[in-house]
Amino acid sequence: MAAAKPIRLLAGFFTVGFWTLCSRILGFVRDILLAAFLGTGPVNEAFLVAFSLPNLFRRFFAEGAFNTAFVPLFSKKVEGGEDAQTFAQDAFSGLATILIVLTLVATAAMPWLVLAMAGGFAADERLELATDYGRITFVYILFISLAALFSGVLNALGRFAAAAAAPVLLNIILVAAMLGAEWFQPDGKMTSLVYPEERYATALAWGVPLAGIAQLVLVWFAAERAGIRIRPRLPRLTPDMKKLAIIALPAMLAGGVVQINLLVGRQVASFFDGAIAWLYYADRLYQLPLGMVGIAIGIVLLPDLSRRLRAGDAEGGRNALSRAAEISMVLTVPAAVALAVIPVPLISVLFERGQFASDDTAATALALTVYAIGLPAFVLQKVLQPLYFAREDTRTPFRFAVVAMVVNAVVAIGLALLIGFLGAAIATTAAAWVMVALLSKGRRSMGEEAQFDTRFRGRIWRIVAAALSMGVVLLGTEIILGPFFGAEGIRYVALALLILIGMASYYGFGRLFGAFSLAEMRSALRRG
């Protein structure tokens, strides 16, 4: 087996961030087509609920619980010269067995799973549609969860590119599925369908498991090239697997709590026509910076902290944490301000066409503004959680997640009675900030490597000031460019100009206030 490459924190971050950015851009292309072809009607909502089912369980089993426990243990075996390949093989076999059973059970119980996700679908045509699509898409969990295990192996070895590039395949295949449905039925008529949009949703549903297979093949071969050879075999309950299960169980429960938060929001939205789609498109926009920054930091920081803790490198751990938090905030805070102050131009230019109308833009913009307020909290969670996971402590985050779940449920259900679907977005943001507060409080009892250094504490306020100043510039520019956002063709140029002015003003204010130094970032990248 090949030895692990030395982790270069910022280099790894930019590798993951680059491929995540590519995936998100293609994801925007996918969502632009989704909005144009399916709009916010019953077919779109049915597909979105069906597609969310395997993704929900994926985060619960693989990316959430399993990899949280697996990556630190695998990293330690690699660093200690132990038999990491056998451990990965046993983990693969155990996870595959669980996933196969889960897929069979879920396929049989699909109508009840759909209602658990969206109770508003009961006695509605959306229930039958979502059930049919769900039975096709759910098999995706098998392939993508196993792909997540291989990605964990590659990340622990310091090989981030293939794992980060894999999600690009999902968006390429789904875009191709919709374009294929359009090109093969250009007149938009299929007499056997109740809704003409069904042909797009059916193509998308079959594209989901195909994408899962493609992603699994990519990371499987990448792991082979890295020296990890894994083949299917019967599972074994070894001492290592018992330890993995003990660590993973609290993380699985914590992942379940997070998914309950999502379920609450979707349940609330399902009782308001169009709300599931509005929240989805708003979610997609704030997921761009979250994916590029927060997820990239979490992927790179966890194995790095695990190695430093094993080596007793407290100062190195503190520097890694502080630089990860610093670059996260440098990129996230201005993104949050921009999404909050110019949501209407962003959504109208990206999505308002075909079946997506101006009323949909207004509703989605409200949700996006609320999500934007919580964006720094979502990213900080990705920075702070590895402090616990690197210590194989999954119980503490679980307790914190339970508190956040209660906050989410109370706020979402309570506000839904007063302000409708927007209560779900407000609840998500409130729960995220509660979670950050608890994670931050909990790290105070850890060692020096869990504390932010003086440089970060001094710069965070400068970053906020620069971002708020940029927000003022964006508001003024939006007013000036306002008439151009309604003109087809010109509106794309207007949005690009608005974004460029925002980026330039943030850079200028950032340098003026001393919020960041590009020279320091380049130096840190070279040092790794």
Instruction: Give per-residue pLDDT as tens, 273-317.
Output: 888 889 888 888 887 777 666 555 655 555 666 666 666 677 777
Please state the domain count of the chain.
1
Two tokens at 231? 């083949």
Instruction: Rounding to the nearest 10 degrees, give the CA dihedral for residues 66, 71, 77, 81.
Output: 140
Place of tokens 């046993």: 90
At residue 368 the predicted structure's pLDDT band, cuts being 50, 70 and 90, is very high
Distances (CA, A) of 136 to 115, 207, 320, 353: 17, 9, 42, 28
Does residue 14 surpass a pLDDT of 70? no
Does residue 3 surpass a pLDDT of 50? no
Residue 267 lies in a domain: no
Distances (CA, A) of 360 to 12, 36, 275: 38, 12, 9
At residue 190 the predicted structure's pLDDT band, cuts being 50, 70 and 90, is very low
Tell me which residue range forms the domain holding 202: 41-236
Does residue 499 surpass a pLDDT of 90? yes
Mean pLDDT within 55-74: 69
Residue 22 lies in a domain: no
Does residue 166 surpass a pLDDT of 50? yes
Q: Are 485 and 345 in contact (CB under 8 A)?
A: yes
**Type of residue numbered 404:** A
202-211, 258-267, 331-340, range with the lowest pLDDT:
258-267
Percent of the chain with pLDDT over 70: 84
Does residue 17 surpass a pLDDT of 80? no
Residue 511 lies in a domain: no
At residue 264 the predicted structure's pLDDT band, cuts being 50, 70 and 90, is confident
Q: Are 284 and 367 in contact (CB under 8 A)?
A: no
At residue 5 the predicted structure's pLDDT band, cuts being 50, 70 and 90, is very low
Residue 223 lies in a domain: yes
**Distance, CA of 387 to chain centre:** 19
Residue 128 lies in a domain: yes
Does residue 470 surpass a pLDDT of 70? yes
Two tokens at 445? 């009892």
At residue 6 the predicted structure's pLDDT band, cuts being 50, 70 and 90, is very low
At residue 415 the predicted structure's pLDDT band, cuts being 50, 70 and 90, is very high
187-201, 324-338, 480-494, range with the lowest pLDDT:
187-201
47-56, 253-262, 457-466, range with the lowest pLDDT:
253-262
Residue 59 lies in a domain: yes
Q: In this structure, how many other beta carbons lie within 10 angstroms of the beta carbon of residue 122?
A: 12
What is residue 189's three-state secondary structure? Answer: coil
Distance CA 72, CA 65 (A): 12
Distance CA 172, CA 215 (A): 11
149-163, 190-204, 497-511, range with the lowest pLDDT:
190-204
Please name the residue ranges forming H helices in 239-357: 239-270, 275-289, 296-311, 314-341, 343-351
* More reliable by pLDDT, 451 or 82: 451
Two tokens at 343? 């949501």
Residue 357 lies in a domain: no
Residue 225 lies in a domain: yes
pLDDT tens profile 126-162? 899 999 999 999 999 999 888 888 888 887 777 777 8
Cβ-proximal residues to 119 (8 Å cutoff; 6+ apart), any chain:
267, 270, 271
Distances (CA, A) of 257 to 54, 64, 97, 103: 16, 11, 23, 21
